[in-house]
């Protein structure tokens, strides 16, 4: 579970940086690196980033429902 959280968090960060570049410079780095928005690899990256964001909702909801330190401790106890 910890590995999945780290991987999904990394993908969400990559997605956030990509959106920052789109907003500031009109540069979609994922599309640039993988042959355009319609390439199968770029679409796979977009899907993985989106699924990662959904996965990251789990610790976020736990952090909201109880105080954050307790949510982190509880999340670490349930690998």
Q: Give the pLDDT confidence of 32-69 residue by residue, as tens digits.
A: 999 999 999 999 999 999 999 999 999 888 878 876 66
Say if CB 12 and CB 49 are below 8 A apart: yes
Residues 27 and 21 sit within 8 Å (Cβ to Cβ) = yes
Question: Is pTM, for the whole model, over 0.75?
Answer: yes
C-alpha distances in Å from residue 78, one per residue of 13, 18, 61, 74: 24, 31, 15, 7
Mean pLDDT of the chain, nearest integer? 89
């Amino acid at each position: 579970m910890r590995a999945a959280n780290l991987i999904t968090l990394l993908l969400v960060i990559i997605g956030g940086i990509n959106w920052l570049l789109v907003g500031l410079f009109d540069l979609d780095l994922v599309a640039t690196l993988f042959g355009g928005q319609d390439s199968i690899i770029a679409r796979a990256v977009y899907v993985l980033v989106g699924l990662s964001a959904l996965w990251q909702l789990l610790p976020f909801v736990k952090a909201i429902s109880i105080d954050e330190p307790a949510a982190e401790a509880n999340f670490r106890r349930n690998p």
